Amino acid sequence: MFEQLSVITERISMRGVSAVAFAQVLRTIMERMLWEVVADREGGFLARTHGFYSYYGAEVRISIVKNEAVISIQPVDAMYTSGEECRAYMDRLLRAIELESGQMEEADRNLHPMHREKYGALLVSKSYLITPVLVYINVLLLLLMVLSGISPLTPSAASLFQWGGNFGPAVAAGEWWRLVTYMFLHGGVVHLLGNTFALLYVGMFLEPMIGKGKFVMAYLVTGIGAGLVSIWAHTAVVSVGASGAIFGMYGVFLALLTTSYIKRSYRKTMIRSILFFVVFNLMYGLQGNTDNAAHVGGLITGLLVGCAIYPGLKKKVAAFI
């Protein structure tokens, strides 16, 4: 009788690295070990240690679920490959993954942002954390406001003020913290949804490009700049929303697109996209009930911040850019 096929299975954490980056580096590791990827599967792929047609060696199945990779190795034919050999294959692969952990983090930083559409722009990774967290905070605050009895569609100016809306006389009286809290509040679900899409779009490109620390610093600084311009232009109006900071992040991106930090082939498309966003939203804001002063203030602050952080960006942006 032939020996029953032995299956060796290991579960390993991806340590916050995105699924696509993890899979990319895992494929590179297997190519280096002369293992052959023979089929793509939903959420993973199939490989062989000795090619597709050989009876020798083992079959390697990779499944990626959430923040965990499941690796299963079994003999192609138990007559030729033992369970001990499969264990040795697994140990070799795990050692290689450990050695290449830095490469996985680098691949995650260099991951084309559009891949996040497949895996979710709201999923966090080591290089993409601040953007989704900002969205979660905005959503949570709106939910808390609604639960407290505030309208989810048309909250009153008084209620927005109570929750930390930006208001010139209050800021002048010493409530400076409103210049921060206002950018996490929104005037209803529609307002929140519009800002969420705009933030996700710029964040999935810009955050991996400049890093988490610079991204959160730029977001707060441009939001504060937008808030100051807003209270200068509207002395007695309660304003809320992330749009000033979001315009600021588009300003940062626009400033970097004018430098050699980003490859020339990528610049034209992104400059057009950003200018369309800016012009369209400023024109839409002329219809009223929109704080265009905050938008302009955020954009100008963002351009200045982008110019300020550029000298400190020592490493060229990802190859896809």
Domain residue spans of the chain:
8-109, 128-312
Identify the band that residue 314 occupies on the pLDDT scale cut at 50, 70 and 90: low
**Among 20-24, 106-110, 138-142, 194-198, which range has the highest average pLDDT?**
138-142
In the annotation, is 234 catalytic?
no
pLDDT above 80: residue 243: yes
Render pLDDT for 26-57 as a digit per residue (tens, 0 to 9).
Answer: 888 888 888 888 887 767 888 888 755 566 78
pLDDT of 1 reads: 38
Average pLDDT, the chain: 84
Residues contacting residue 68 through CB under 8 Å, at least 6 positions apart = 11, 12, 13, 14
Q: What is the pTM of this model?
A: 0.67
Rounded to an integer, the average pLDDT of 145-151 is 94
* pLDDT of amino acid 12: 85
Among the listed residues 72, 191, 230, 295, the single catalytic one is: 295
CA atoms of 127 and 206, how far apart (whole Å): 10
Please say if the pLDDT value at position 177 is more than 90.
Answer: yes
Predicted confidence (pLDDT) at residue 167 exceeds the cutoff of 70: yes
CATH code 1.20.1540.10 for 128-312: yes
Distance CA 96, CA 28 (A): 10
217-231 pLDDT per residue, tens: 999 999 999 999 999
| 243 has catalytic annotation | yes
Asked whether this chain's domains 8-109 and 128-312 adopt the same fold, the reply is no
Q: Which residues contact 141 (CB under 8 A, 6 or more apart)?
A: 163, 184, 185, 186
Q: Does domain 8-109 have CATH number 3.20.20.70?
A: no
Nearest to 195 by CA among 246, 236, 232: 246
Catalytic residue among 191, 243, 265, 273: 243
- Is it the case that residue 263 has pLDDT exceeding 80? no
If one compares 111 and 59, the residue with the highest pLDDT of the two is: 59
pLDDT at 192 (0 to 100): 94
Q: Which of 65-69, 126-130, 165-169, 281-285 has the highest mean pLDDT?
A: 165-169
Laid out side by side, the sheet with 36-41 consists of 8-13, 68-75, 58-65, 44-48, 36-41
Among 4-8, 29-33, 202-206, 237-241, the minimum mean pLDDT is found in 4-8
